[in-house]
Amino acid sequence: MKLPTLAVHAGDRKKPGDYIPVTTPIHGAASYVYENIEDLDRVFGGERPGPMYARYGNPTVQALEEQVAALEGGDLAVATSSGMAAIHLALLAALTDRRKCVVAAKVLYGQTLTLLMKVLEPGGLEVHFADPCDLKAFEAEVAAAKPAAVLVETVSNPLLRVAPLDRIAEIAHAHGALVVVDASFTSPALLQPLSAGADIVVHSVTKYLAGHGDVLGGILVTREEFQPVLQVLSRSLGPNMGPFEAYLTMRGVKTLPLRIERHCQNACRVAARLKDHPRIERVYFPGDPAHPDHETVKRLFAHGSGGGMVSFELKDAGREQVFAFLNALKMVVRATSLGDVHSMILHPVMSSHRDLAPKHLERLGIRENLLRLSVGIEAVEDILEDLEQALASSSEA
C-alpha cells in the first residue's frame, strides 16, 4: 500500500469478538481479565497476544504503534507520553550494553540539548557535538569520539538546516555507531529516516502526526532487534501514552498526507513573500533553491518539498520590536508548538531555546530577532495578509 492508504487503514479494524469496529475504540482499562487464569498466564508468558496491564500495553496505543510503524517502514513502534520521553527512551535503547558516548548535532531542540547536557552527561554520558551538514567535520568527530550513537534531527530547530541522513548513516555505521533521528519537523509524509539508514526514528506526535493541537505525546519506530531492550525499558520506566491521546493521534494521522501537502504549499508561498519584504533581514526555508541544503532536500524529501516551517529574522529588531510584531498578529497563533492545522509562531530565544546561555545561542546563530513560523493549512492569502499587516503596524509603533 502507498503511504496515503496506510495512513487511513493501518492499525484499525481489529476483531475483538463477532463484530469489527470501523475505527479503533478507546480502551480505558488499566487491567484485563480472561475467561480462565491459564489464558492470562499465556499472555504474561508471551505465548499468546493480548493485553494484561496498561503499562505493558494498551489496545488503542498498540493500534497507533502499528499505524505509525507502517508509515515509517519499521518493524515496531513504542508510543510515549511526550516527544522528550520518546527521545530519552531511544537514546537509552541505543546506549544499552554499549559505550556511553553520543555525537549529537550541534543545533538541536533546546530541551534535547538540556537532556543531553544537564541530565545524561552528569549521569556519565560522554557528549560531543558536531555539524551534521559539514560531513568532513562530522566524520572526524565520530572517528575521534567512537560513540555508541549519533543523534540528529531531520530539520534543525530553529534554523532549519537539513542533515544528509543517508550520508550521516554511512559515517555512523562505518564507525560502529547507531543513528537516532528526531523527525518531528518532517513526518513520514516527507521523509522516512529508516529508509535513509537510521536505526531509530523519533517523533513528537504533538506536531504533524496528531496535527490539531490537542495531543501531548511521542513515538519511536525501529527494527525488530530492538524489541527486547525497548520492552524492558518501557515497562520499567513507564513512559506510556494514554489511550485517549493515542485515539486522537490515530485520527490525526489519517489526514497527514493531505495536511503535509497543504503545509508545504503554503510555506513555499509565505517564504517567497517574506524574502522580498523590506522589514525582513533573512528567511530560512529548506524549499528555497538558495538554501544551503537544498540539494539534500531534493534528494531526500518527498517531491522535493521544503516542509511546512519557515524561520525569519526581523531587520534591526531587538526584543521590543519582535514583541510588537508578535502582538500585532491577529490570526497566526503565538504559541509554542508546530505542525498544527493553524499557523503558529514563536520566539526561540524566549521559548524553545530559553535555557541556553547567551554565548551558546550566539554560537548557534540563534539571535534575538529570529522567529520560527509553523505555516498552517489556512487559505494562504489570509496567512500572508496577517503577517503583512503585523509587519506594517509594528513598524509604525
80 SS3 class: strand
> Is the distance from CB of 203 to CB of 68 less than 8 angstroms?
yes
- DSSP assignment letter at 24: P
- Look up 207 and say whether it is catalytic: yes
Residues pairing with 374 in the sheet = 309, 344
Q: Check 106, 161, 167, 207 and give the catalytic one.
A: 207
Q: Give the residue carrying C-alpha cell 496535527.
A: 211
Q: Which residues of 177-213 are buried (b: 16+ CB within 10 A; e: fewer)?
A: bbbbbbbbbbbbbbbbbbebbbbbbbbbbbbbbbbbb
Residue 383 to residue 369: CA distance in whole angstroms:
20
Which is it for strands 280-284 and 333-334: parallel, antiparallel or unpaired?
A: unpaired
Largest CA distance in the chain: 76
Exposed/middle/buried for 347, CB within 10 Å: 0-12, 13-18, 19+?
A: buried
Q: Check 106, 182, 372, 386 and give the catalytic one.
A: 182
> Is the distance from CB of 201 to CB of 171 less than 8 angstroms?
no
> Is the distance from CB of 205 to CB of 188 less than 8 angstroms?
no
- Cα–Cα distances (Å) from 379 to 213, 269, 340, 367, in that order, read 18, 11, 14, 30
Phi, psi angle pair for 91, to nearest 5°: -65, -40
Residue 71 to residue 77: CA distance in whole angstroms:
11
- Look up 55 and say whether it is catalytic: yes
Other Cβ atoms less than 10 A from the Cβ of 301: the count is 21
Q: Check 55, 100, 275, 315 and give the catalytic one.
A: 55
Residue 114 to residue 111: CA distance in whole angstroms:
5
- Look up 282 and say whether it is catalytic: no
The cell for 339 is 505542525
Phi, psi angle pair for 72, to nearest 5°: -85, -10
Residue 397 to residue 321: CA distance in whole angstroms:
9
Q: Check 109, 208, 247, 284 and give the catalytic one.
A: 109
Catalytic residue positions, numbered: 55, 109, 182, 207
